[in-house]
Amino acid sequence: MALPIPGGCVRLGISRKVHVNRRLTVFATVSPPKSDGVTVDWVEATSGFFQKDTRPIMLFDGVCNLCNGGVKFVRDNDRNRRIRFEALQSEAGKNLLRRSGRAADDISSVVLVEKDRSYIKSEAVLKIMEYIDLPFPQLAFFLQFVPLFVRDFMYDNVANNRYTIFGRSESCEI
């Protein structure tokens, strides 16, 4: 009998070896260069978003009812207005997606863009929770101990079915 371990296998008995196939998962994509061959530095190109206002920007699917409800929830629980909002479908949203290392047409996840870093999926949700009022920062603290693959699995299941469950609107409500 052989048990798979990262990087190989361990022989425990008289059975054959079991090899582990590793699969690479892409977490972000790099925007393709412009048609004239010039590569754009999206951090530099979008630095104007943070020159006068350093608050993070929450990118959301503007036609998703769940996402619009999430934005309303964050606004209602962010009395100090520490987060700004931008639809993923807007030109600014597309540029900020590129800044975050994602394709401009990728509307699969909420993204929180800070001046020096971006967060996606469940990490974005937890980071947003840290910015809003009590008790959400404390809840985010405890949820960070749930493994990332479990949080993202749950996030992906909701995100992949959000239109079916919650519906969509014809335009961004925010």
CATH assignment, 41-166: 3.40.30
Q: How far apart are CA 42 and CA 162, in angstroms?
A: 29
Instruction: Render pLDDT for 53-110 as a digit per residue (tens, 0 to 9).
Output: 999 999 999 889 999 999 999 999 999 999 999 999 999 999 999 999 899 989 889 9
Consecutive H or E run containing 58: strand 57-60
Q: How far apart are CA 103 and CA 34, in angstroms?
A: 13
CA angle 15, 24, 6 (to 5 degrees): 35
120: DSSP letter: E
Q: How far apart are CA 136 and CA 131, in angstroms?
A: 8
Instruction: Render pLDDT for 101-152 as a digit per residue (tens, 0 to 9).
Output: 899 989 889 999 999 999 999 999 999 999 999 899 999 999 999 999 999 9
Residue 24 has pLDDT above 70, yes or no: no
Q: Are 60 and 85 in contact (CB under 8 A)?
A: yes
Ordered by start, the domain boundaries in the chain are 41-166
pLDDT band, very low/low/confident/very high, at 2 (cuts 50, 70, 90): very low
Q: Rg of the chain over CA atoms, in angstroms?
A: 20
